Amino acid sequence: MRFAPQTDDDVREMLRAIGVASLDDLFNQIPETVRLDRPLDLPDGVSEMEIVGDLRRLAARNQNADELVCFAGGGAYDHYVPAVVWSIAGRSEFYTSYTPYQPELSQGVLQALFEYQSMICELTALEVSNASLYDGSTALAEAVNLARSTPGRDRVLVSAALDPRHIDTLRTYGRGAGYEPELFDVVDGRGGHPEVGDDVACVIVQHPNAFGLLEPARELFGVAHAGGARAIQVFDPLSLGVVAPPGELRADVAVAEGQPLGNHLNFGGPYLGVIATRLDDVRRLPGRIVGETLDVDGRVGYVLTLQAREQHIRREKATSNICTNQTLMAIAATVYLSWLGPEGLEELGRQCVSKAAYAAERLTEVPGVELLFPGAPFFKEFPLRLPRPADEVLDALIERGYLGGVPLPHADGHALLVAVTERRTREEIDGLALALKEVLS
């Protein structure tokens, strides 16, 4: 207790107030196998100042994406975040705001969220979006809940090229909701042939997929609709400057991880869940929707229009119990998209495509390195087959200053997913190729 502000008497009084005999009792829910069963290894006679100094030196041994040249992706990407984004999103009016239940006090936040919804609709070519969800995985789970509201349709067909973390989240949600996601195989990393019967609620396709490859999404969604199922697309928001939007591809629901929209990597969060759908599903959309209206004096104002969660309506009529969104991250996305604009979005997409193509060309010039799926089109990521285990190669690349990618379980652990955003330069790509050649030689 020497580094805690509470005295022994304070601790005893707090434990007595909550009816707990000891501090150890507070951790009964944590399995003993993962508990530290000894005191912290702190030397006697060392001051707080010295301990803090030791901790700082230990922390300095970590390396992050700002210190390494980052080619890692797989769902979280090192895109450039302009200073204006968090200069505006970090203002106290946005940064400390809570749920805008009182519109007369929250017009700024409500208008920003209305603009966010409008931009997501424009991006996806779908009619309605909510005011954000928690993250990409839970947004997908909510989309499945929406699709399964059709009586008699319970099965969920999932492309095997979907992000494995999304699949894990669906399995978690499905245990309570009464479904198990059923994977259909892909061919050479993409496509596949889902068999859609009259009991299938939805077909889920990620485009670009978890390998970074472009899917024949229009064809797959046509198969879904022919069987009477909903088509759900997981998309990359920053691909939509060069890739057809979900609405044009005939997706009924589109979901995304919104981290690339002006949100830093942040060691894994907080991130942003994006969802958009057609107007027919507006009352099934989870969370809340901000709408535009007029006040008694005829002035434009903004309010929470629809809130289809159980906190606001009778439980049996709720479409979801989701009570969390990411207002701050959605506001950052709004600022980012406003800064980028349509032309900027297209230019960013073109840079990602061209730089990724150049990187694939340079890296496959290294002896023993080849594309895992030769000839398959990709956006900003592509998988490589290496002559050595990817984990070993990545460790060696980090020593040379490169975060070289994300290992994949394919090709007996010799597969590496490489992401190339607009931040990467020709010199950095050439440097990675040279470093990879050194590691493999």
pLDDT at 98 over 80: no
What integer is the mean pLDDT of 274-296?
A: 92
- pLDDT, the chain, mean: 93
So where are the chain's domains?
69-79+341-440, 83-336
pLDDT tens across 204-235, in order? 999 999 999 999 999 999 999 999 999 999 99
How far apart are the C-alpha atoms of 230 and 431, rounded to whole Å? 45
Class of domain 83-336: alpha beta
pLDDT tens across 75-87, in order? 999 999 999 999 9
Q: Omega into 270 within 30° of 0, i.e. cis?
A: yes
pLDDT tens across 164-219, in order? 999 999 999 999 899 999 999 999 999 999 999 999 999 999 999 999 999 999 99
Residues of the chain with pLDDT > 90, as a percent, come to: 80
How far apart are the C-alpha atoms of 192 and 175, rounded to whole Å? 26
In contact, 177 and 148? CB cutoff 8 Å: yes
- Specify the CATH number of the domain 69-79+341-440: 3.90.1150.10
pLDDT at 308 over 70: no
- The residue assigned the tokens 């002035």 is 299
Q: State pTM to two decimals.
A: 0.89
Torsion of CA 292, 294, 300, 304, to 10 degrees: -30
How far the first Cα of the chain sits from its last, in Å, is 53
Q: Give strand ranges (E) for 77-195.
A: 128-129, 155-159, 182-184
